[in-house]
């Protein structure tokens, strides 16, 4: 059985919140329509995805690739901060993260 | 000189017939002449390119042993970082950002003495098949400036098709090297996944992304492939094995006795008749050269597009979470960190990127994960099994690269599904992680526009597609009485 879901304006607004993107009402309305069409088209993957088929997350049969934990040359603090929108005292300066209290 | 192949340019440099500074300047002049019409470049590094060229010339004068491609200029897709050079990925999000390090691809290009002319336009974060999704305006197809050059590596291919560079670097997540090669009559190769390091390649869909060569000949693509491929400890998904001998294979170009499998599911409905006719003509040529043409069936390929449009957006929604307005890129809005992040991502991301992030967030959310992302991963297994069975019957597999020739700019901009169908024949190889090549098959009878012939080879047997591609190319160039780009309209100063 193919699982189909209709998607509402509130669903998209919640997804946008989870994805940390503000969306205008126009953008929301457009996405409701487009996502419904796209989801209808992609839902067919369920038709053939039987429980006997193992999932593939990656094309290479690699697991746990490690290298030696050695100190190597790396970016200087100035280089690492060179693209920062704001900085202070060799640190990234960011807006308030925690609430007031 | 700018119309020659990279291999011919390399010979002229080695013999002293021309210097790298002269060759680089000739390409910079061509960029000045035609790129206001094509819009292939987002950034042109005139000074840096001439400096690199001067260094190669100085080494050559001093009698130093140089790599074969030393001094040949190249165009770099703007998704790969080059230290100190603006890298935008076609997005407003990274406007003005200058990366503090080189990608491994750039490091390898430098080691080979290849001169980087500048950064090429692309669909934002490589999401698209037309280069219309760039925040910096669309790139135009040199064959017809009202049409798309394909995408997402449209800038790289438009640059080489208009002789602004002899070759370029592209990246391919679902066809972004092969489809633009097809619609611009050039050669594009997506190597086996893991063959070329992804270190410094801004991630879209990490289990699918792969950088590769864009060129005007199969041999040039092979030279560039060998220059950039190889194991890199900085990429944990890099294959630790010798690079297949693709240059030798391209020089050999012998398909006698080679079994070539035609994939039944990648033709027919939805394919333009002119594209199919050229595909069949190419098959006849390969048969006349002694190849054994067999038909194979890959029945799960019908589900590949659906699986791709769940897997790629899912991975992208996770990868693009790094654009948080805190460490690099633009910052917009006021208030808390979360409010600033929300506002920056609204302004910084374009429509297609937002669409895919939201779709991926949905496919990965609890309650829907198994039905969508989980099922797509299973389809991925079924597609790999289809390839495994097909490669028991054939050495390489073939299909048209894209179902149609280049469409008009704007024609499909409001229909995501129609746009996604461009990649129907190229997506299966990304899902399975194997290599794919597109080379020109000719001009379609309906519209006189280029079409591509796709060759796919098993993982780490990329040399086989170069062998078959070189064989077909030699016959076609003879038939066309010269390179197919000789038939393209000449772009002049406006």
- DSSP letter string over A24-85? -HHHHHHHHHHHHHHHHHHTTHHHH--TTSPP-S-SS----------------HHHHTTT-S
Catalytic (active site) residue B378: no
CA distance B459 to B12: 35
Q: Which of B233, B337, B417 sits opposite A97 (nearest CB)?
A: B337
Q: Does residue B272 contact residue B404 with C-beta atoms inside 8 Å?
A: yes
Chain B positions touching A31 (Cβ under 8 A) are 354-355, 358
Look over chain A and give the mean of its residue pLDDT values, rounded to a whole number.
90
* ipTM of this complex prediction, to 2 decimal places: 0.93
What are A99's two structure tokens? 């609430």
Touching check for B307 and chain A: CB below 8 Å? yes
Burial bucket for residue B1 (CB in 10 Å: 0-12, 13-18, 19+)? middle
What are A27's two structure tokens? 């953008």
CA distance B173 to B171: 7
| CATH number of the domain that residue B459 is part of | 3.90.1300.10
Chain B positions touching A30 (Cβ under 8 A) are 351
CA distance B436 to chain A (A): 15
Judged by CB atoms closer than 8 Å, whether chains meet at B357 and A21 is answered as yes
The angle subtended at Cα B79 by Cα B91 and Cα B132, nearest 5°, is 50
Q: Is B159 helix (H, G, I), strand (E, B) or coil?
A: helix
What are B431's two structure tokens? 């899902």
The tally of domains found in chain B comes to 1
What are B269's two structure tokens? 């409905």
Chain A positions touching B99 (Cβ under 8 A) are 83
CA distance B124 to chain A (A): 16
Identify the residue among A14, A30, A43, A49 best suited for mutation to test binding to B, counting B beta carbons within 10 A and taking the highest. A49
B280 within domain boundaries: yes
- The length of chain B is 494
Q: Convert A71-100 into a string of H (helix), E (strand) and C (coil).
A: CCCCCCHHHHCCCCCCEECCEECCCCCCCC
What are B489's two structure tokens? 């309209």
Question: Can you give the pLDDT at residue A99?
Answer: 72
Q: What is the mean pLDDT of residues A16-30?
A: 96
- DSSP letter string over B36-99? HHH--EEEE-HHHHHHHHHHHHHHHHTT----TTTT-EEEEETTB--TTS---TT-GGGTT---
- Tell me how far CA of residue B174 lies from CA of B23, B346, B457, in angstroms: 34, 25, 16
Q: Which of A16, A22, A94 sits opposite B358 (nearest CB)?
A: A16
B361 within domain boundaries: no
Q: Residue B32 is part of which domain span?
A: 6-302+377-487
B364 within domain boundaries: no
B1 within domain boundaries: no
Judged by CB atoms closer than 8 Å, whether chains meet at A43 and B372 is answered as yes
Judged by CB atoms closer than 8 Å, whether chains meet at B380 and A19 is answered as no
CA A49 to chain centre: 24
Q: Does residue B114 contact residue B69 with C-beta atoms inside 8 Å?
A: yes
**What does the domain layout of chain A look like in residue ranges?**
9-48
Closest CA to B44 of B23, B28, B22, B24: B28
pLDDT at A45 over 80: yes
Q: Which of A31, A34, A49 sits opposite B379 (nearest CB)?
A: A49
The angle subtended at Cα A52 by Cα A1 and Cα B313, nearest 5°, is 65
Position A1 confidence tier, pLDDT thresholds 50, 70, 90: very low
Judged by CB atoms closer than 8 Å, whether chains meet at A45 and B378 is answered as yes
- DSSP letter string over B359-389? HHHHHHSTTTTIIIIIHHHHHHHHHHHHHHH
Q: Does residue B421 contact residue B400 with C-beta atoms inside 8 Å?
A: no
Judged by CB atoms closer than 8 Å, whether chains meet at B416 and A37 is answered as yes
Q: Is B147 helix (H, G, I), strand (E, B) or coil?
A: strand
Question: Can you give the pLDDT at residue A100?
Answer: 65
Judged by CB atoms closer than 8 Å, whether chains meet at B345 and A37 is answered as no
Question: Can you give the pLDDT at residue A4?
Answer: 54
Chain B positions touching A84 (Cβ under 8 A) are 326-328
Q: Which of B237, B303, B339 sits opposite A48 (nearest CB)?
A: B303
Q: What are phi and psi of B116, to 5 degrees?
A: -90, 115
Catalytic (active site) residue B176: yes
CA distance B304 to B456: 16
What are B364's two structure tokens? 């990965």
Kindly give the confidence (pLDDT) of every residue in chain B, 494 residues in length, as a single tens digit, with 9 standing for 90 and above: 999 999 999 999 999 999 999 999 999 999 999 999 999 999 999 999 999 999 999 999 999 999 999 999 999 999 999 999 999 999 999 999 999 999 999 999 999 999 999 999 999 999 999 999 999 999 999 999 999 999 999 999 999 999 999 999 999 999 999 999 999 999 999 999 999 999 999 999 999 999 999 999 999 999 999 999 999 999 999 999 999 999 999 999 999 999 999 999 999 889 999 999 999 999 999 999 999 999 999 999 999 999 999 999 999 999 999 999 999 999 999 999 999 999 999 999 999 999 999 999 999 998 899 999 999 999 999 999 999 999 999 999 999 999 999 999 999 988 888 888 999 999 999 999 999 999 999 999 999 999 999 999 999 999 999 999 999 999 999 999 999 999 999 887 54
CA distance B44 to B117: 6
Q: Does residue B157 contact residue B131 with C-beta atoms inside 8 Å?
A: no
Catalytic (active site) residue B152: yes
């Amino acid at each position: 059985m193919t699982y189909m879901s209709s998607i509402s304006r509130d669903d998209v607004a919640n997804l946008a919140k989870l994805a940390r993107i503000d969306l205008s009402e126009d953008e929301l309305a457009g996405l409701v329509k487009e996502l419904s069409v796209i989801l209808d088209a992609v839902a067919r993957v369920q038709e053939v995805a039987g429980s006997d088929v193992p999932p593939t997350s990656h094309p290479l049969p690699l697991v746990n690739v490690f290298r030696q934990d050695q100190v190597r040359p790396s970016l200087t603090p100035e280089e690492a901060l060179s693209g920062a929108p704001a900085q202070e005292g060799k640190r990234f300066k960011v807006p308030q993260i925690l609430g007031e209290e | 000189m700018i119309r020659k192949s990279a291999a011919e340019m390399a010979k002229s440099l080695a013999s002293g017939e021309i210097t790298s500074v002269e060759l680089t300047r000739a390409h910079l002049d061509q960029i000045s002449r035609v790129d206001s019409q094509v819009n292939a470049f987002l950034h042109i590094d005139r000074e840096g390119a001439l400096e690199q060229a001067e260094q190669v010339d100085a080494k050559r004068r001093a009698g130093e042993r140089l790599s074969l491609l030393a001094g040949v200029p190249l165009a770099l897709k703007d998704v790969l970082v080059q230290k100190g050079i603006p890298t935008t990925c076609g997005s407003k999000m990274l406007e003005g950002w200058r990366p503090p390090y080189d990608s491994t691809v750039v490091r390898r290009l430098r080691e080979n003495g290849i001169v980087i002319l500048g950064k090429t336009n692309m669909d934002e974060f490589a999401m698209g098949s037309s280069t219309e999704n760039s925040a910096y305006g669309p790139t135009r197809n040199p064959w017809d400036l009202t049409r798309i050059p394909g995408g997402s590596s449209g800038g790289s291919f438009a640059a080489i098709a208009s002789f602004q560079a002899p070759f370029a670097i592209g990246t391919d997540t679902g066809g972004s090297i092969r489809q633009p090669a097809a619609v611009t009559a050039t050669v594009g190769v997506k190597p086996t996944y893991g063959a070329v390091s992804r270190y410094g390649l801004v991630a879209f869909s990490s289990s699918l992304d792969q950088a590769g060569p864009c060129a005007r000949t199969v041999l040039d693509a092979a030279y560039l492939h060998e220059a950039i491929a190889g194991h890199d400890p900085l990429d944990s998904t890099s294959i630790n094995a010798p690079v297949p001998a693709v240059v030798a294979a391209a020089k050999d170009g012998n398909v006698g006795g080679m079994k070539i499998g035609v994939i039944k599911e990648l033709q027919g409905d939805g394919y333009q008749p002119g594209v199919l006719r050229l595909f069949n003509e190419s098959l006849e040529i390969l048969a006349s050269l002694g190849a054994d043409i067999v038909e194979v069936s890959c029945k799960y390929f019908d589900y590949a597009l659906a699986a791709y449009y769940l897997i790629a957006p899912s991975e992208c929604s996770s990868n693009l979470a790094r654009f948080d307005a805190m460490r690099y890129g633009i910052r917009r809005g006021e208030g808390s960190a979360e409010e600033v992040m929300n506002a920056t991502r609204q302004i910084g991301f374009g429509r297609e990127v937002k669409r895919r992030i939201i779709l991926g967030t949905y496919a990965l959310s609890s309650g829907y994960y198994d039905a969508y992302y989980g099922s797509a991963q299973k389809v991925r297994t079924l597609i790999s099994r289809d390839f495994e069975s097909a490669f028991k019957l054939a050495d390489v597999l073939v299909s048209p690269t894209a179902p149609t020739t280049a469409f008009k700019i704007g024609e499909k901009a409001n229909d995501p599904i129609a746009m996604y169908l461009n990649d129907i024949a190229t997506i299966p190889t990304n899902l399975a992680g194997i290599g794919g090549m597109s080379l020109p098959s000719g001009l379609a009878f309906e519209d006189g526009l280029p079409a591509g012939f796709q060759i796919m080879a098993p993982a780490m047997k990329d040399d086989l597609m170069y062998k078959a591609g070189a064989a077909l190319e030699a016959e076609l160039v003879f038939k066309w009485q010269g390179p197919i780009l000789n038939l393209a309209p000449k772009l002049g100063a406006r």
